[in-house]
């Protein structure tokens, strides 16, 4: 299928009910029916993402004809067939070797170039990659495309490094995707077109909307901000209390909040074998199970006991039942940013409406996500009409974005100190589960947001401790390995991180961005102390 037709098929997703029809997507599974399932279920490649990122050596029809002819022959070798008809994807970071002696800052500065991808007018024929009009920075390793929420934390470092043109290019890419698709997908791949990720677009715009240019920036991106908001709130006005539809939910008191959601009820193509096997262990109908698994992927936390039922296993996943505290804080920021953008565009009545929406959301977060007994913010279980029992670092978002009261912030800080703080930073959750978004792992974005939230509420001692432990761990591992990693074991500093569906990745976009941001903040504070 020509690239233009790939876009045309993708745009079918925008036409109302067609959103529920993943069959319309020109994904690898649709291009290679039968062959796709054989390759993924047969684990021809250890990582399921490999095949969906590969390019064919011939048109899909020719590949399928050859497969139909050869598969029944004696001695047929599926791996050899795949090698003959598909090119392996390249991984630039696997070829790059750092100079440890040059130091961490030189390494970071080099990686911006290593991880940069140029603008593309078109994608190669039959590629799952969606072309973007401006350059962008990828996370690294198996992540060969741009990712939505990763990019904000990568941009923090790009801005620190003075690479504002690159930041603007990436914001423009996301605005382009919103214009083309009506939302920002998980990543610029056809197999990601059924879901988004944590909505950080407003914060990305905020990186540019500073100083005398803020009014022009807000006005420029106002249409994209409004379309992103419409995507998240679609169907909200028709809901009755206790109901949910796509990404919108209505709470028992009538409040409208949001959840994570993916339109498809099929196994994820990039993790096809894992999803098919996991579904066999679940008591849920397959379609429901796949919706829940995909919604967790939309959250970015794939996977964590945060999304699991009392059994604490993937088979009990119920992501779509939960009203996530972090997601709703991010949408509060989107509402606040739309209020600013409307005011900048000379629309005071519209600005007032968005301010009221933001205030209502903050009130709802307080009502449904504050666990007074635990002194922590948690998710809300909509069907059960109760607070979720598990505490996670999602509970720091109300501090980062100003929803918490000062007393609540102090309570959260106390809980962070007693439960989450470890030698290398803070845990994602305190559950050791073999899932990558659980103990003993720590992740750069959550370290940064925790530190930022504590600083916002004038709790610098704990913020400094977390920032110092995290940056020290990053630098120590770099000195030993020459790499910056996707995630880290913050409990046992002699071990690397583990868990998840794929090996530990290096590169790594958001680790690089957060590390540079925190290192620069530490240097600034030290300089201020010396000047006193």
Strand partners, 216: none
Q: For residue 153, how many other CB atoms are within 10 A of its CB?
A: 26
| CA gap 485, 501 in Å, rounded | 16
Say if residues 272 and 160 touch (Cβ distance below 8 Å): no
Q: What angle do CA 294, 299, 300 make, to 5 degrees?
A: 100
| CA gap 521, 515 in Å, rounded | 10
270 as an active site residue: the answer is no
Say if residues 177 and 192 touch (Cβ distance below 8 Å): no
Say if residues 177 and 185 touch (Cβ distance below 8 Å): yes
Strand partners, 323: 380
| CA gap 330, 229 in Å, rounded | 11
302 as an active site residue: the answer is yes
Say if residues 408 and 456 touch (Cβ distance below 8 Å): no
Tell me the Cα Rg of the chain: 23
3-state secondary structure of 147: strand
Say if residues 23 and 8 touch (Cβ distance below 8 Å): no
Instruction: Name residues whose C-beta falls within 8 Å of residue 487's C-beta, 6 or more positions apart in sequence.
Output: 436, 441, 442, 443, 444, 497, 504
Nearest Cα neighbor of 323 from 289, 265, 369 is 369
For the chain, give me the number of helices (H) and strands (E)?
21, 16
Catalytic residue among 302, 326, 379, 521: 302
Catalytic residue among 172, 262, 486, 506: 486
**Catalytic residue annotation:** 302, 486
């Amino acid at each position: 299928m020509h690239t233009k037709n790939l876009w045309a098929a993708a745009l079918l997703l925008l036409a109302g009910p067609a959103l529920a029809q993943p069959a319309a997507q020109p994904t690898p599974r649709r291009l290679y029916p039968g062959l796709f399932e054989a390759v993924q279920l047969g684990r021809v490649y250890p990582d399921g993402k490999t095949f969906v990122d590969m390019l064919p050596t011939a048109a899909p029809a020719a590949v399928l004809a050859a497969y139909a002819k050869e598969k029944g022959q004696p001695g047929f070798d599926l791996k050899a067939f795949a090698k003959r008809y598909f090119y392996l994807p390249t991984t630039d970071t696997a070829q790059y070797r750092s100079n440890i002696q040059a130091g961490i800052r030189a390494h970071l500065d080099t990686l911006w170039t290593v991880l940069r991808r140029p603008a593309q007018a078109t994608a190669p024929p039959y590629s799952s990659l969606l072309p973007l009009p401006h350059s962008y920075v990828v996370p690294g390793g198996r992540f060969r495309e741009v990712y939505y929420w990763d990019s904000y934390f990568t941009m923090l470092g790009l801005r620190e490094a003075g690479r504002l043109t690159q930041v603007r290019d990436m914001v423009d890419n996301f605005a382009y995707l919103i214009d083309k698709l009506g939302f920002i997908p998980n990543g610029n791949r056809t197999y990601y077109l059924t879901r988004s990720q944590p909505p950080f677009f407003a914060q990305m715009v905020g990186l540019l909307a500073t100083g005398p240019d803020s009014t022009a920036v807000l006005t420029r991106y106002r249409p994209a901000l409004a379309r992103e908001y419409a995507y998240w709130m679609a169907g909200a006005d028709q809901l009755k209390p206790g109901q949910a539809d796509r990404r919108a939910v209505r709470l028992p008191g009538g409040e409208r909040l949001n959840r994570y959601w993916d339109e498809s009820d099929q196994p994820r193509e990039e993790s096809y074998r894992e999803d098919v096997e996991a579904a066999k262990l679940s008591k849920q109908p397959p379609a429901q199970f796949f919706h829940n698994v995909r919604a967790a992927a939309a959250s970015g936390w794939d996977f964590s006991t945060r999304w699991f039922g009392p059994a604490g296993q993937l088979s009990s996943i119920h992501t779509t039942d939960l009203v996530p505290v972090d997601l709703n804080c991010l949408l509060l920021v989107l509402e606040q940013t739309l209020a600013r953008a409307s005011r900048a565009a000379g629309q005071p009545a519209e600005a007032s409406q968005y301010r009221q929406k933001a205030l209502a959301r903050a009130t709802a977060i307080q009502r449904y996500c504050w666990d007074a007994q635990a002194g922590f913010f948690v998710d809300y279980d909509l069907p059960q009409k109760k607070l979720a029992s598990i505490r996670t670092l999602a509970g720091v978002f109300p501090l980062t974005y100003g929803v918490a009261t000062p007393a609540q912030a102090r309570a959260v800080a106390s809980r962070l100190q007693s439960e989450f703080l470890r030698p290398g930073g803070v845990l994602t959750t305190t559950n050791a589960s073999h899932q990558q978004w659980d103990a003993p792992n720590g992740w750069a974005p959550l370290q940064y947001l925790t530190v930022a939230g504590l600083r916002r509420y004038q709790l610098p001692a704990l913020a400094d401790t977390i920032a110092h432990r995290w940056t020290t761990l990053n630098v120590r591992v770099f000195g030993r390995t020459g790499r910056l990693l996707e995630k880290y074991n913050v409990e046992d500093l002699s071990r690397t991180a583990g868990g998840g569906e794929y090996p530990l990745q290096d590169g790594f976009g958001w680790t690089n961005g957060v590390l540079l941001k925190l290192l620069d903040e530490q240097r600034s504070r030290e300089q201020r102390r010396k000047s006193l």
